[in-house]
Amino acid sequence: MSILKVSQLGHPVLRRVAEPVDPEQIQADAFQRFIVDLRETMAAYQGVGLAAPQVHVSNRVLVYLAMGEEDRDPEVLVLVNPVIEPMGDEMESSWEGCLSIPDIRGLVSRHSQIKVTALDDTGQDVSYVARDFEARVIQHEVDHLDGILYLDRMDDLATLSFQAEYDTFWARDEDEDDSE
């Protein structure tokens, strides 16, 4: 299909609240092609998630790479009109980047566990609990649907780093923490 152009920080589409998708339109050829394009664009940009506003379409649809269990290969899931609810108060800080803000990383606190309710790419209801990295990716992408960027969620802008500096100064600290 097509690799779509990713909107960059400063484009107004990234600050708009996206419009809900009419469930009757999910099966339409044009919408199904758009989902394929979203998947291909995410893969081409080596992302783990992509929301429609990031490709200049103000609709409440996103795709993300669900890592799955150890015995399953990762798969790209589609969420249409997603609603998320935090499950508990536990928050976790971790580094995030964004295809719309290339080569920049920042430390963001997110809920460790969320309940996801949405329609899938066939228009069927889905509801599940997402944890840890999967929960982080979904929250990041749903923020795009609400006109919010990860920069808006950062507790401390002092951690904002170009990718090269992150790799040099911050990733090393993360690796050391992982080995303890």
Three-state secondary-structure class, residue 178: helix
Q: What are phi and psi of 16, to 5 degrees?
A: -90, 150
Q: Is 141 a catalytic residue?
A: yes
Three-state secondary-structure class, residue 154: strand
Rg (CA), the chain: 16
d(CA 47, CA 45): 5
Which residue is catalytic, options 141, 165, 174, 176? 141
Q: Is 130 in contact with 85 (CB distance < 8 Å)?
A: no
Question: What amino acid positions are annotated as catalytic residues?
Answer: 141
